[in-house]
Amino acid sequence: MSKVQPGAAGSPTGIIWRPDPEQVRQSNVQRLMDRHGIATYDELLRRSNEDVAWFWDAVVRDLGIDWYRPYEQVVDLSRGVSWATWFRGARMNVANDCVDKHALGDRRDQPAVIWEGEEGATRTLTYADLQREVNRFAHALAGLGVDKGDRVGLFLPMLPETVVAIMAIAKIGAVFTPIFSGYGAQAVATRLQDAGARVLITADGFLRRGQAVPMKEAADEAASLSPSVEHVVVVRRLGREVPWAEGRDLWWDELVAGQPETFETVHLDPEDPIMIIYTSGTTGKPKGALHVHAGFPLKSAQDISHHFDLHPGEVMFWFTDIGWMMGPWLIFGTLMLGSAMFLYDGAPDYPGYDRLWALVERHRVTHLGVSPTLIRALMPHGEEPVRKHDLSSLRIMGSTGEPWNPDPYLWLFHTVGGGRCPIINYSGGTEISGGILACSVHQPLKVASFAGPNLGIAADVVDDAGQPVRGQVGELVIRGPWPGMTRGFWKDPDRYLNTYWSRWPGIWYHGDWASIDGDGFWYIHGRSDDTIKVAGKRAGPAEFESALVAHPAVLEAAAIGVPHALKGETAVCFVVLKPGYAPSEGLRQELKRQVADVLGKALRPEEVKFVAQIPKTRNGKVMRRVVRAKYLGEALGDTSALENPAAVEEIGRAV
């Protein structure tokens, strides 16, 4: 295992932020601690891992989860930790916790959903509005024959109707499958076919940099390839003419017109499915993570409450898509807490580089979530686009998707947050329902780090033998159950067990490299299946990439390991240069030396290639697997998550 190197991803540097005593006193976590007589955050973290039944009972009481019938047992491990079930004997429905109880209470007139389109149109739904629209659409779905357990595909931008659809599907006990709004027809069809969806909900399109992005045409092709799809429901987002299949296609507004505004929410078991969300695999078949009513939504709300400290009346904006887990996470978490979400379906830098900051100012966003990639893309345009706007409403900033390197992290902290807003760095996964590692308002921050495990997550870093390690890079694992665990992969339980539970008995193997420094701060170093092993020395690709982007000429980088006759494997790096810098042999050698200086001469890259862009998903993750396959001339596997397919050809040209 490689040691944590100064200058590598997550390099140990000084603490840059400490908790404000008043913020701590008013925090959601402090309320939980006071209620249970817990003196310190560390004690709460320890108890959350040592007594999971006590902790999750305390969580659902703290969050005010509404049970139609109370549970008899918090957690049931009779089938083993990999198949843990929760809140046995209870009856509930997450639509009640997200919508009904707020609409029937004192939050009925408070905003629940705030939306702005790229063209500047805005809409706001209060909790009372949201309940009315959810009930009308629940009747519409029931009228189409959708019943408990039926699957419904959501191929939509981030719209108010997206929220309404999710809550209506939950209310009747059906199951939704969120699908990335930028997918092509084949990727949509793969998910519809696997889930066996009866209904597909889509839009006529959305705007991206002022251009109409058609969706109905892709939805039509996907539906024609998916025999289970009986109806396609279409939201009028752009008002454009679209192809129409009479008898199958239905306009959303016409479908809900005249529907009753009340609907009796179905009482469900906490283990009843609510969502099948697909993650890309190395093969052509994505993995469908199955989640339940008292799983993903509960973990989302707990993380947002206890780590992001979102309060009722505040506004959270996470720049994401419904097809990535942060989309459903935002929707469930904010609504369960009685707060407001802000949704935006356009580009973050259109029509100007200040669009993201204008949104924050205009809608008084209190919690802003971004990816490191987004910040790296905005940084070259300087501070002026940020300074134009009043960002005083911001209280918390969040980040997820990939490891940070120091410069963009510090730019976000100082330029955007003014040094007063903590960055809640957050890392977990779709199958987790949220975070494994995070920060909180109770803990100090180090640059690019995590303060530690999420509350209720018994995380550890181990070596190849499964033994804990500190001060060096190891495998990130979880040693106990939590409600947000996926209930397996849809129709493929063996793949779930092999992926997460086969390496060490009773331990969740996550597939990320991580480390813990001497001060107890945690760092993510990329996927362990991306590991680069040069002459016996291992390093995560993020360590190479962070060393490269520390050079003033480099905007972005991607590192891969490729076979080498003598060393077994060697590193090949692809870099995107900042404006004003041009590729040259001298710069190439300089970048190789930069990596060698940071990681050691043994890890000097074999090659550095200059490219205009790097293949990434829309939420900012570098698709190193695809880069490696293109470099080696191998099959690319599942590329449906790619936002910029042209970048793959860019890799090919560089090779």
Mean pLDDT lowest among 159-173, 280-294, 309-323, 408-422: 280-294
Instruction: Give Cβ neighbours of residue 404 (< 8 Å, ≥ 6 apart).
Output: 9, 10, 372, 425, 447, 448
The pLDDT of 342-359, averaged and rounded, is 97
Q: For the chain, what is the mean pLDDT?
A: 93
In percent, how much of the chain has pLDDT > 90?
Answer: 80
pLDDT of 375 above 60:
yes
Contact 168, 141 (CB under 8 A): yes
H/E stretch holding 326 reads helix 326-336
* Structural domains in the chain, sorted by start: 15-92+272-525 (3.40.50.12780), 127-256 (3.40.50.980), 531-654 (3.30.300.30)
pLDDT classification of 2: cutoffs 50, 70, 90:
very low
Condensed to tens digits (0 to 9), the pLDDT of residues 473-532 reads: 899 999 999 999 999 999 999 999 999 999 999 999 999 889 999 999 999 887 776 778
**CA R_g for the chain:** 24
Instruction: Give Cβ neighbours of residue 237 (< 8 Å, ≥ 6 apart).
Output: 117, 157, 159, 203, 204, 205, 206, 345
Instruction: Give Cβ neighbours of residue 279 (< 8 Å, ≥ 6 apart).
Output: 286, 287, 289, 429, 430, 431
Tell me which residue has tokens 């407001």.
Answer: 340
pLDDT classification of 6: cutoffs 50, 70, 90:
very low
Condensed to tens digits (0 to 9), the pLDDT of residues 74-109 reads: 999 999 999 999 999 999 999 999 999 999 999 999
The predicted pLDDT at position 46 comes to 98
Q: With the CA atoms of 183, 188, 189 and 194 taken in that order, what torsion angle do they form, in degrees rounded to the nearest 10?
A: 140
pLDDT classification of 619: cutoffs 50, 70, 90:
low
The predicted pLDDT at position 420 comes to 96
Instruction: Give Cβ neighbours of residue 414 (< 8 Å, ≥ 6 apart).
Output: none
The predicted pLDDT at position 12 comes to 42
The predicted pLDDT at position 603 comes to 85
**pTM score:** 0.88
pLDDT classification of 5: cutoffs 50, 70, 90:
very low
The predicted pLDDT at position 644 comes to 84
Interatomic CA distance for residues 57 and 75, integer angstroms: 9
CB atoms within 10 A of CB 387: 12
The pLDDT of 311-322, averaged and rounded, is 97
The pLDDT of 554-564, averaged and rounded, is 90
The dihedrals phi and psi of 13, each to the nearest 5 degrees, come to: -130, -175
